[in-house]
């Protein structure tokens, strides 16, 4: 029994010893594990701290990112606003450019019109000045004429009186002259005496013959006289009359210097035939309406003549 007990005790002792070893090993392992666990705990704590830092940084970054996002959006909006403004400016600039061109053209046209107006104004000024001068001259002439008119007005009355007086004397003298008979061979008509030659001479010699008798070649100054002379002459007779253009070709003058007032030229006369017809003759024409015609002939032609005294 004892032995067995001893053996069993020994067994127990060995077992105890073995358990003790195991326990020691376990203890040692526990310590190692505990150490590792502490280290891990420390690491965990460190990581935990780091995580908090990272979280904080992350949060900060998120805030920064949001701020940047906002700024970016603001910038984006500003950029769009600027873009719109820029486009409007471009449009405005084009419009302004176009307006400027129009204004420039308008200004050039106005300048041109202005220059024309200035020219016109200067011309008007010149015209006005010359008109003013002309007006002054006219005013002066008007004043002269007014004075002259007044003078003439006053003289007119005097002259009318004188004329009336003279007319009376002329009437008286005419009556007396009409009553005076003509010399023998001369024919009376109104206040004149007429002589128709029987001889024939050229114009100059005919006139000389009239002058020798105290007369001159006839001066016909009325239709009545022309008609009367026509009635005095033989049918178709040619006679020299006191009319010539020998002083100036084409300018007919009576021998008393007076111009022709009532003419009785044949149709187509005077024609200065051959450029050598400077003396006028009268040709008797019959017929109730005819008073005779005149013709220019060569002064050298020899024919009858008629004197008037």
Q: Which residues bind Ca ion (CB under 5 A)?
A: 219, 245, 271-273, 277-278, 295-296, 308
Residue 203: other Cβ atoms inside 10 A? 26
**Least gap, CB of 190 to Ca ion (angstroms):** 8
Residue 215: other Cβ atoms inside 10 A? 21
Contact predicate 245/251, CB 8 Å:
yes
Could you give the 3-state DSSP secondary structure of residue 236? coil
In angstroms, rounded to a whole number, what is the distance separating the alpha carbons of residues 202 and 153? 51
Q: Which is nearer to Ca ion, 160 or 191 (CB)?
A: 191
Residue 3: other Cβ atoms inside 10 A? 9
In angstroms, rounded to a whole number, what is the distance separating the alpha carbons of residues 71 and 61? 15
In angstroms, rounded to a whole number, what is the distance separating the alpha carbons of residues 148 and 157? 14
**Least gap, CB of 272 to Ca ion (angstroms):** 4
Q: Tell me the residue number closest to Ca ion, measured at CB.
A: 272
**Least gap, CB of 286 to Ca ion (angstroms):** 21
Q: Which is nearer to Ca ion, 277 or 284 (CB)?
A: 277
Q: Which is nearer to Ca ion, 277 or 304 (CB)?
A: 277
Residue 212: other Cβ atoms inside 10 A? 9
**Least gap, CB of 170 to Ca ion (angstroms):** 16
Q: Which is nearer to Ca ion, 61 or 191 (CB)?
A: 191
**Least gap, CB of 119 to Ca ion (angstroms):** 58
């Amino acid at each position: 029994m004892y032995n067995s007990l001893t053996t069993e005790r020994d067994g127990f002792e060995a077992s105890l010893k073995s358990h003790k070893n195991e326990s020691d090993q376990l203890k040692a392992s526990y310590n190692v594990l505990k150490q590792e666990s502490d280290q891990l705990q420390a690491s965990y704590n460190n990581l935990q701290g780091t995580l908090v830092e990272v979280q904080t940084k992350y949060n900060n970054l998120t805030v920064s990112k949001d701020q940047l996002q906002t700024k970016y959006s603001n910038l984006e909006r500003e950029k769009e606003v600027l873009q719109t403004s820029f486009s409007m400016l471009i449009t405005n600039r084009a419009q302004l450019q176009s307006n400027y061109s129009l204004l420039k053209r308008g200004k050039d046209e106005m300048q041109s019109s202005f220059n024309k107006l200035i020219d016109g104004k200067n011309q008007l000024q010149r015209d006005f000045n010359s008109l003013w001068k002309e007006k002054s001259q006219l005013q002066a002439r008007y004043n002269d004429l007014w004075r002259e008119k007044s003078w003439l007005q006053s003289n007119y009355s005097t002259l009318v009186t004188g004329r009336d007086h003279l007319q009376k004397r002329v009437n008286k003298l005419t009556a007396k002259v009409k009553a005076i008979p003509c010399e023998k061979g001369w024919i009376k008509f109104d206040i004149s005496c007429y002589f128709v030659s029987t001889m024939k001479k050229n114009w100059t010699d005919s006139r000389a013959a009239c002058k020798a008798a105290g007369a001159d070649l006839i001066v016909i100054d009325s239709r009545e006289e022309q008609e009367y002379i026509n009635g005095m002459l033989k049918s178709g007779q040619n006679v020299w009359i006191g009319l010539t253009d020998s002083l100036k070709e084409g300018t007919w003058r009576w021998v008393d210097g007076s111009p022709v007032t009532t003419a009785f030229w044949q149709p187509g006369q005077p024609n200065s035939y051959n450029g050598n017809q400077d003396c006028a003759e009268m040709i008797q024409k019959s017929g109730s309406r005819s008073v005779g015609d005149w013709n220019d002939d060569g002064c050298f032609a020899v024919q009858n003549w008629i004197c008037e005294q």
